[in-house]
């Protein structure tokens, strides 16, 4: 199985940071690295770049050209400005609700919420570019809120990032590998 991993927004994406200064890419990229380590039996490759912001169209083109079987986009959520109360984990698939993507998303959501004990915001649909333009099944994971003080503290730890990667990998092994 060939899996394209997208570490969400790039290192220079403006506005994608917690109120205390953590860039979302810090969480996304380290979690992506841990996820690759957790999937030695799969053909895993990154569609993002660690040094600069790679445009979404380029990420999707890379995955499509490589004929990936699955696209996994890792993110940390945010709401409003400053510290806010929304919390939890949610996983997105495209609004067309492809069956395979739904199976992957349900497994990811279940494994992530069980592993982290964070609130289950459920599997949702959206017309996000990376979900709409990929030729393969695709999921976009929001692994907690950078604007929630408790969750931001977790998102900043190596242990939480590794836990998220392990849970995502367990879900992928359950459904895909």
**Per-domain residue ranges of the chain:** 2-175
Which strands form 43-46's sheet, in the order they lie side by side?
A: 43-46, 2-6, 70-77, 137-145, 89-94, 120-126
The model's pTM: 0.97
Q: Nearest to residue 30, comparing CAs of 10, 4, 7, 58?
A: 7
Query: Distance (Å, rounded) from C-alpha 169 to C-alpha 96?
Result: 24
Q: Nearest to residue 153, comparing CAs of 59, 87, 61?
A: 87
Query: Distance (Å, rounded) from C-alpha 169 to C-alpha 35?
Result: 6
Residue 48, SS3 per DSSP: coil
Class level of CATH domain 2-175: alpha beta
Query: Distance (Å, rounded) from C-alpha 131 to C-alpha 141?
Result: 11
Distances (CA, A) of 84 to 13, 30, 138, 141: 21, 24, 29, 20
Residues of the chain with pLDDT under 70: none
Query: Distance (Å, rounded) from C-alpha 17 to C-alpha 76?
Result: 9
pLDDT of 12: 87
Q: Nearest to residue 74, comparing CAs of 102, 36, 118, 127?
A: 36
């Amino acid at each position: 199985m060939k899996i394209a991993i997208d570490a969400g927004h790039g290192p220079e994406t403006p506005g994608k940071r917690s109120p205390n200064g953590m860039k979302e890419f810090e969480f996304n990229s380290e979690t992506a690295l841990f996820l690759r380590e957790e999937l030695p039996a799969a053909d895993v490759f990154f569609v993002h770049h660690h040094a600069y912001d790679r445009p979404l169209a380029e990420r999707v083109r890379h995955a499509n050209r490589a004929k990936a079987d699955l696209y996994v986009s890792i993110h940390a959520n945010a709401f409003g400005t400053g510290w806010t109360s929304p919390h939890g984990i949610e996983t997105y698939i495209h609004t067309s609700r492809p069956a395979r993507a739904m199976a992957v998303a349900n497994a990811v959501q279940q494994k992530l919420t069980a592993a982290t004990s964070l609130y289950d915001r459920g599997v949702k649909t959206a017309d996000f570019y990376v979900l709409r333009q990929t030729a393969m099944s695709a999921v976009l994971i929001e692994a907690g809120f950078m604007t929630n003080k408790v969750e931001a503290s977790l998102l900043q730890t190596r242990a939480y990032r590794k836990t998220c990667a392990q849970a995502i990998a367990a879900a992928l092994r359950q459904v895909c590998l």
